[in-house]
Chain A
Amino acid sequence: MIIQADDPIVEIHDLTVSYDKKPVLWGVDLTLPKGQLIGIIGPNGAGKSTLIKAIMGLIPNSSGYIKLFDDELSNVRDRISYVPQRETVDWDFPASVMDIVLMGRYGKLGIFKRPRKVDREVALDSLRKVDLEGYKDRQISQLSGGQQQRVFLARALAQQADLYFMDEPFAGVDAATEKTIIKLLREMTERGNTVVVVHHDLQSVTQYFDWVLMLNMRLVASGPTAETFNTEMLQETYGGKLTLLSEVGNLLKQGAFPSREKNEQVKS
């Protein structure tokens, strides 16, 4: 069940993404509405993180295109924020909380320029929003998992973007932090920002998200949570793998076929 959004902020057309020639996401075709809290759910290996990495241009697409704000990614980078999974970085890195949050300003600063006073103020304000103001000079290695996640969130806030992609912001955080984060995300969407979140916990889906994407190597469903998130769709998302599809994927990898034909255009 794929419901299209009116006046979409994200438009994905026929997207196939491959790792080492093997497609992990097939033919994803969807639109996402503006100003909503959107959840991406699906089993392990379904391609949830892959989808947002592809949107952020971190993995090349084998085919299809993505439009953000009806434009190319490179033209609208400063309106988009990306929060990677917490474990992907080295939290022993010698840096303070403030250093990390200031990174959110780098995109706006441009090359070779140092953070100005206004950037520090924005960073401080972002820290206040995640209740970490008092931690600004703390070294990141001293933070708990939940605090690390909030630092990443503050960095995203400091970007002052319109569209946010977050890879598992609730992974490994305690219940209280999860509540703080979801409240913050709510406030963001109420201000008109759009937040897309990779999520694991099915229990909280209806409570958290306005719109939900259900993935399992392909897009199973996309639409308002109330209409989309039902037993039938869940069964299809979590109900086992498409073996034929993965075997074809393996063939592509072994043969090093191009995942899509590039040079030729089909007329018929």
Chain B
Amino acid sequence: METFIDFFSFTDPNVRYVVLGSILITASSAIVGTFTFLKKKALVGDAVAHAVLPGVCLSFIVYGEKNPLVLIIGAFITGWLALTLIDIISSKSKIKEDTAIGLILSVFFGVGIFLLTIIQKSGNAAQSGLDQFLFGKAASLVGSDLVTFSLVSVILLIAVYVFFKEFTLIAFDKDFASTIGLPIKTMELILTTLTVLAVVVGIQAVGVVLMAAMLITPAAAARFWTEKIQVMIWLAAIFGAFSGLSGAYISYVAPSMPTGPWIVIVISTIAFFSFFFAPKRGIIIRYLTQKRIQRHIVDENILKALYHLGEEEKNFFDERTIETILSKRTLQKEVLLKSLRRLKREGYLKNSNGYWSFTIEGKNRGQRVVKLHRLWEVYLTQYLRIAPDHVHDDADTIEHVLTPELEARLEKLLNYPTTDPHESEIPYA
């Protein structure tokens, strides 16, 4: 608890730098990453992250010392060159884009490593710390880094704000954007530049390999919670910022822990949580919806079976045994009992001494299912020319699906038929 207070009071300037720096980096990468994600070019960020290394080394070799601005310029040049080369290779030869990405990424990185080892062995004392570009150094950010980070973040935010409309359109429908006279090339160039900028800065915090996660993962997580791009950008930024903060905190509590990887673990956890538990798009909710629908279908089928029994015996409110119901509909007994109890709870059925009977609501619902079933059979035979002896199975599904609105349209379209193709009466309410 004490460390918690120590950390969040931000009295220690180092803590302040690390936290602010991490948050700025993660949030701005997440915002830019949202657009690369939506353009389905998520891995381009990965390529840039690897490609900046030779630039950093070259500018060090040329300039002779570790001036952050010079290093960033160098990084920027090779990062940008890499993207251009990927474009050229995939458009001017039969090599596909993902191969071009992998190729450029690894070759640039190889050149970077090669240069780095040469610098390290050259004996220039100023070189120590260059490898922060490899692994990141979020835990040892200082005031001057923060100035650079803030500057870059502000540029990124302003650019995204100004070009929001254009970026969205290009990500969604490039051809259309071009037909309405948007300068596609310029816009793509700006977006590329922003990506490179985000990477060049972000890489100093989390390192080469994990930079891709900073760009991709927050956007991927945010996508599961919303259908609106504005909300998605905000969410991505918040997820990113939160992971930056948590990463900083973890390595503050346990100094041996590397900040970058922990940032990635936190953001990945958020992403996996989103994949599974997000409302609407999540894996779990989709699974549960399916289960719910299956229950709904079983329930309606039992009501339908009881309605059929009622039709046959011309008495809808008679009490039936479980065996009688099973004679109408093959079901596992446990499934039937569960469903019967559920229907009783919901007020569709009554139970006395093991005998089950309709309530008014139950009869009406059963009747609606039967009506829809028979209407759909009429529709299939009339409009789809399906033989009367083949329409039953299909109607068995659709009877559970039709909404009241479609029900009304179906009735009108078929002009309120009185019987189905098997001469059974269609019961209207």
Residue positions of A touching B, CB distance < 8 A: 1-2, 13-14, 16, 26-27, 29, 63, 92, 141, 218-220, 242, 244-245, 247-248, 251-252, 255-261, 264-268
Contact = CB atoms under 8 A, between A and B. Distances in A.
B409 interface: yes
Nearest to A91: B94
B337 interface: no
Interface in B310-363: 327-331
Contact of A257 (B298, B400, B406): B400
Contacts of A247: 406
Contacts of B392: 266
A255 B289 contact: yes
B379 A244 contact: yes
Interface of B: 94, 286, 289-290, 293-294, 297-298, 301, 308, 327-331, 379-380, 383-387, 390-394, 396-398, 400-403, 406, 409-410, 413
Contacts of A27: 380, 384, 386, 390-391, 394
A258 B289 contact: no
Contacts of A13: 390
Interface of A is mostly: mixed
B383 A242 contact: yes
Given A248-B402, A267-B330, A256 B290 contact: yes
7 contacts: A13-B390, A27-B384, A63-B393, A218-B384, A244-B413, A256-B289, A267-B328
A248 B400 CA distance: 11
B329 A264 contact: yes
Contacts of B391: 27
A129 B329 CA distance: 57
Nearest to A242: B383
A268 to B, nearest CB: 6
A26 B395 CA distance: 11
Given A265-B330, A266-B392, A267-B329, A258 B294 contact: yes
A201 B413 CA distance: 33
B269 to A, nearest CB: 27
Given A258-B294, A261-B301, 19 more contacts: A14-B390, A14-B393, A26-B386, A27-B390, A27-B391, A29-B386, A244-B383, A245-B384, A251-B402, A251-B403, A256-B286, A257-B297, A258-B293, A258-B397, A261-B396, A266-B329, A266-B330, A266-B396, A267-B328
Nearest to B330: A265
Contact of B301 (A2, A259, A264): A264
B397 A260 contact: yes
Contacts of A2: 385, 387
A17 B408 CA distance: 27
Contacts of A141: 94
B410 to A, nearest CB: 7
B397 A259 contact: yes
Given A27-B380, A257-B293, A268-B308, A63 B413 contact: no
Nearest to B287: A256
A26 B385 CA distance: 11
Contacts of B290: 256, 258
B401 A218 contact: no
B329 A244 contact: no
A195 to B, nearest CB: 25
A260 B401 CA distance: 11
Contacts of B301: 261, 264
Contacts of B406: 244, 247-248, 251
A1 B386 CA distance: 10
Highest count of chain A CB atoms <10 Å: which of B331, B380, B384, B406? B384
A248 B330 contact: no
A255 B398 contact: no
A111 B106 CA distance: 36
Contacts of B327: 267
Nearest to A64: B393
Given A255-B289, A256-B290, A248 B393 contact: no
Contacts of B298: 264
Contacts of A255: 289, 293, 401
Contact of B385 (A14, A218, A261, A267): A218
A230 to B, nearest CB: 15
Contacts of A63: 393-394
A67 B398 CA distance: 26
B413 A248 contact: no
B222 to A, nearest CB: 22
Nearest to B327: A267
Highest count of chain B CB atoms <10 Å: which of A13, A242, A252, A264? A264
A1 to B, nearest CB: 8
Given A256-B289, A268-B328, A248 B401 contact: yes
Contact of A260 (B380, B390, B393, B403): B393
Given A27-B384, A242-B383, A256-B290, A264 B397 contact: no
B385 A219 contact: yes
B254 to A, nearest CB: 44
A251 B401 contact: yes
User: What 8 pairs between A and B have smallest CB-CB spacing?
Assistant: A218-B384, A92-B94, A27-B386, A265-B330, A14-B390, A251-B401, A256-B290, A29-B390
Contacts of A218: 384-386
Highest count of chain B CB atoms <10 Å: which of A2, A29, A252, A257? A257
B94 A244 contact: no
B330 A264 contact: yes
Highest count of chain A CB atoms <10 Å: which of B379, B392, B397? B397
A141 B391 CA distance: 48
Contacts of A92: 94
A27 B409 CA distance: 21
Contacts of B330: 264-267
Nearest to B383: A242
Contacts of B390: 13-14, 27, 29
A261 B301 CA distance: 11
